[in-house]
Amino acid sequence: MRIENHPILIFDRGKILSFFFNGEVIKGYEGESIAAALHAAGIKVLSHSHELHHPRGLFCAIGNCSSCLMVVDGQPNVRVCVEKLREGMRVETQKGKGCLTQ
């Protein structure tokens, strides 16, 4: 959920952007991370673990832990917590370890 009223902070949100999450159109703001936009849209499951296929979400949100790897515009293993949203971006749940020649 987006915070609208905050006692201290004013959120200067950028331009509204559309992007695709597994084919579905989602809106977010320019300047925010993919993970933040997905989270605001209620999407918490970002990937699955390799061996046991457990659902995975973000953990650190600053690019330290690699818990948030997704396929972005065909490129696997992108840390979506530190990748900024762009208009028309295709964001997909990653299956397995990802393949660079995809």
Distance of CA 83 to the CA centre of its chain: 8
66 binds, among another protein, ligand FES, none (CB under 5 to 8 A by kind): ligand FES
Q: What does 95 bind: ligand FES, another protein, none (CB cut-off 5 to 8 Å by kind)?
A: none
For the bound state, the minimum distance from the C-beta of residue 81 to another protein, rounded and expressed in Å, comes to 8
Residue number, 71 or 78, with CB nearest to another protein: 78
Q: Which residue is nearest to ligand FES (CB)?
A: 81
Q: Do 46 and 68 meet the contact criterion of CB atoms below 8 Å apart? A: yes
Shortest spacing between CB 44 and ligand FES, in angstroms: 12
Q: Report the candidate in 90, 88, 86 with the shortest Cα–Cα distance to residue 30.
A: 86
Which residue from 9, 85, 32 is spatially nearest to 70, judged by alpha carbons?
Answer: 85
Figure out which of the listed residues 24, 60, 73, 86 binds ligand FES, where binding follows CB under 6 A: 60
Tokens of 41: 């849209």
Q: Give the separation between CA 20 and CA 12, rounded to whole angstroms.
A: 23
Write out the residues near ligand FES by the rule CB under 6 A.
Answer: 58-61, 63-68, 79, 81
